[in-house]
Structure 1
């Protein structure tokens, strides 16, 4: 049985980053394959964009962050501020999602127009095994997750109040620029 999920991806932090990143994502489960397709427009151009689904390991339904999550009132919704409503970073949409290796350079880079397309067919059995190892036997539950697109150019001046550095990657890499709720298609 084929299951399909979609997300309409809307801008986040647009007034601060100068672009209104938007797009769509689809996730199709067909047998042992998860086909992931993401298309984004109006992202910061020529920039690598980390993209993931976020959620709660306990199965709670994740919601998209809005400016209401800007708890330190610096005008930006940074990665740590998304966690109370969206949960934690779970599955990366990079060159090997099934490896669950979040901090790396295998994410898409937007073109001169701020556009990129991403498509991967992921072996579901490997992804589910790694996911359960990482999140204590939690199921993927795509319809309880949200997708985030991250990344602004290093040249964008960010206040030192922005959190979300991951390893050697600073807030320019992790700042959310767009978000969408993943919903099951009937």
Structure 2
């Protein structure tokens, strides 16, 4: 049985970043594979962009963050500020989503025009097994998740109040630049 999902990805933090990152994500789930296709436009150019789906392990319906989530009023919605409405980072869209290894350097990099396209077939059973290990359920519940695209150039001056460091990666890597609600197609 095939299930299809999509997300319209809209800008977040665009006034500060200076670009209105936007795009689409399509997910096709079959019995043995999850095909993921994400295409982004107007992202910060020549920059690696972490991208993931976020959600709540208890199955609560995640929503996209907006400027209303800027709790410290610094003009930016950073990664920790998204958690109240979007939940936690769950599955990365890198070179091996089924391994769920979030911090790494295997995410897409935009070209000189701020464009990138990501496409991969993920072994569904392996992803479900790892998802169950981490979150206690093997049901991805894609229609209860949101997608985030992250990443700004390391020379962009961010306010000291911007949080979101993950391991050796600072807020430049994790700052959300776009988000979208995943819905059934």
Q: TM-score range by the shorter chain?
A: over 0.9
Aligned: 1:163 with 2:163:
yes
Deviations 1:14-73 (A, max 9, x none): 000000000000000122010000000000000000000000000000000000000000
Secondary structure of the corresponding residue to residue 182 of structure 1: strand
* CA-CA distance at 1:97 after TM superposition: 0.2
**TM-score if structure 2 supplies the norm length?**
0.99
Secondary structure of the corresponding residue to residue 111 of structure 1: coil
| Residue pair 1:79, 1:164 contacting (<8 A) in 2 also | yes
Aligned to 2:80: 80
Aligned to 2:29: 29
Aligned to 1:133: 133
Secondary structure of the corresponding residue to residue 122 of structure 1: strand
Aligned to 1:19: 19
The whole-number CA distance in structure 2 between the counterparts of 1:155 and 1:168 is: 17
Alignment of 1:19-168 (within 5 A): 19-137=19-137, 139-168=139-168
Deviations 1:149-184 (A, max 9, x none): 000000100011001000000000000000000000
Deviations 1:79-128 (A, max 9, x none): 00000000000000000000000000000000000000000000000000
| Residue pair 1:58, 1:138 contacting (<8 A) in 2 also | no
| Displacement over 4 Å in runs of 4+ | none
The whole-number CA distance in structure 1 between the counterparts of 2:159 and 2:168 is: 18
**RMSD of the alignment, in Å?**
0.5
The whole-number CA distance in structure 2 between the counterparts of 1:108 and 1:153 is: 14
| Runs of 5+ consecutive residues of structure 1 not aligned to the other structure | none
| Runs of 5+ consecutive residues of structure 2 not aligned to the other structure | none
**TM-score if structure 1 supplies the norm length?**
0.99
| Residue pair 1:51, 1:107 contacting (<8 A) in 2 also | yes
The whole-number CA distance in structure 2 between the counterparts of 1:47 and 1:66 is: 23
The whole-number CA distance in structure 2 between the counterparts of 1:64 and 1:83 is: 10
The whole-number CA distance in structure 2 between the counterparts of 1:40 and 1:31 is: 28
